[in-house]
């Protein structure tokens, strides 16, 4: 019991220390940006996310994914939210299956009634993702705010989204393009610890891997029958299955253990073991002394989320505060 308490204290110190380092390196964002101008902003978002998560277990992973997909196109600017016809960014192939738009819009409507024209949709997305992690038993952390909403939403700008079929080299390159590194790739991939994917994204891996036919040989033989049973060839591609085998609704390190053991569901997660750098990062969480002296998965996740949340932040005349998240002013 003493060891558990000591480990939890150490984790809290690590998260606080790492947050302090990254928070002080970004001048245009800050924790508590709305404290004076809209004091209840963060609690409004938290309450709406909590209520939604209680009624639908898909909401937390959906909101976490929404933040990732927003940041990886035009930056964390709420561009994923807009509905401007056939050219909308949200219509891109890589954004299929995204949910949570209504939750963001509900939070925006409430905040507009309290503090008109103050809280950006981009910040609501970031706060909702933080709450999604917390409500999935993940680390509790403070989110930087102060983003403005972007002025562009274009489906063609989403062509560099990370894809489940990408090689590890291409995945690393796409992260580098956003100012992120190999550790961020591993940690943000581990966000798949909650949520599900559709059989649509499994077809190639199960039945025509690398255009050679047959399954991906890296799939553990004990997992393969389960995957093919859930996603049979020529079956319903809309059927969903957990991305974290055996731990769909709980934020935990099991996703990385699954990846190490060949139980990765997504092809892109399995690819983390194809590269010496990313494989070493995954393995670093499972050394004999890792629980005491190794890296903290929870603290590293917080750091990577904060780093991701700074991608392409809009300030000044580069953005504005939308009245509705789904449309430009």
Structure tokens at 136: 């999935």
The alpha helices in 231-296, defined as continuous H runs, are 254-260, 267-270, 276-283, 290-293
* Pairing assessment for the beta strands 30-31 and 240-242 based on DSSP bridges: unpaired
Catalytic residue among 57, 67, 69, 137: 69
Structure tokens at 17: 């220390």
CA torsion, points 230, 61, 76, 117, in degrees to nearest 10? Answer: 130
Return d(Cα 320, Cα 118) in angstroms, integer.
10
- 57 labelled as ligand-binding? no
- 163 labelled as ligand-binding? no
- 252 labelled as ligand-binding? yes
- 193 labelled as ligand-binding? yes
- 55 labelled as ligand-binding? no
Return d(Cα 199, Cα 76) in angstroms, integer.
29
- 236 labelled as ligand-binding? no
CB neighbours of 141 closer than 8 A, spacing ≥ 6? 15, 19, 130, 133, 302, 305, 306
- 77 labelled as ligand-binding? yes
CB neighbours of 215 closer than 8 A, spacing ≥ 6? 205, 206, 207, 209, 224, 228
57 catalytic residue (yes or no)? no
- 216 labelled as ligand-binding? no
30-34: long-range pairs with CB below 8 Å, 24+: 30/144, 30/145, 30/146, 31/142, 31/143, 31/144, 31/145, 32/142, 32/145, 33/123, 33/144, 33/145, 33/146, 34/115, 34/118, 34/119, 34/123, 34/145
Residue 140 CA, chain-centre distance (Å), reads: 15
- 269 labelled as ligand-binding? no
Active site residues: 69
Instruction: Detail the residues annotated as belonging to a binding site for substrate.
Output: 162
Instruction: Detail the residues annotated as belonging to a binding site for Ca(2+).
Output: 70, 73, 75, 77, 79, 89, 193, 244, 252
Instruction: Detail the residues annotated as belonging to a binding site for heme b.
Output: 192
Instruction: Detail the residues annotated as belonging to a binding site.
Output: 70, 73, 75, 77, 79, 89, 162, 192-193, 244, 252
């Amino acid at each position: 019991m003493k060891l558990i308490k000591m480990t939890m204290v150490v984790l809290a110190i690590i998260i606080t220390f790492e947050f302090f380092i990254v928070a002080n390196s970004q001048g245009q964002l800050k924790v508590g940006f709305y404290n004076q101008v809209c004091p209840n902003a963060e609690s409004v978002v938290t309450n709406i996310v909590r209520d939604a998560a209680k009624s639908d277990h898909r909401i937390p992973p959906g909101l976490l994914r929404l933040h990732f997909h927003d940041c990886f196109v035009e930056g964390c600017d709420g561009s994923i939210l807009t509905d401007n016809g056939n050219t909308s960014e949200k219509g891109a192939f890589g954004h299929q299956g995204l949910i949570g738009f209504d939750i963001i819009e509900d939070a925006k409507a409430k905040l507009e009634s309290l503090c008109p024209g103050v809280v950006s949709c981009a910040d609501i997305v970031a706060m909702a993702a933080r709450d999604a992690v917390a409500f999935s038993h993940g680390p509790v952390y403070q989110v930087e705010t102060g983003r403005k909403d972007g002025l562009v939403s274009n489906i063609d700008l989403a062509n560099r989204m990370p894809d489940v079929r990408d090689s590890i080299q291409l995945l690393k390159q796409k992260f580098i393009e956003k100012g992120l590194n190999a550790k961020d790739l591993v940690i943000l991939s581990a966000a798949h610890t909650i949520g599900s994917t559709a059989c649509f994204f499994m077809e190639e891996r199960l039945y025509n891997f690398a255009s050679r036919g047959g399954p991906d040989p890296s799939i553990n033989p004990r997992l393969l029958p389960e995957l093919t049973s859930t996603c049979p060839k020529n079956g319903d591609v809309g059927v969903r299955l957990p991305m974290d085998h055996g731990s769909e609704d709980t934020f935990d390190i099991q996703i990385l253990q699954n990846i190490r053991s060949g139980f990765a569901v997504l092809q892109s997660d399995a690819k983390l073991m194809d590269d010496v750098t990313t494989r070493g990062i995954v393995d670093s969480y499972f050394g004999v002394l890792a629980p005491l002296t190794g890296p903290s998965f929870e603290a590293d996740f917080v750091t990577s989320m904060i780093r991701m949340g700074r991608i392409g932040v809009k300030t000044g005349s580069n953005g504005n505060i939308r009245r509705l998240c789904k449309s430009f002013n």
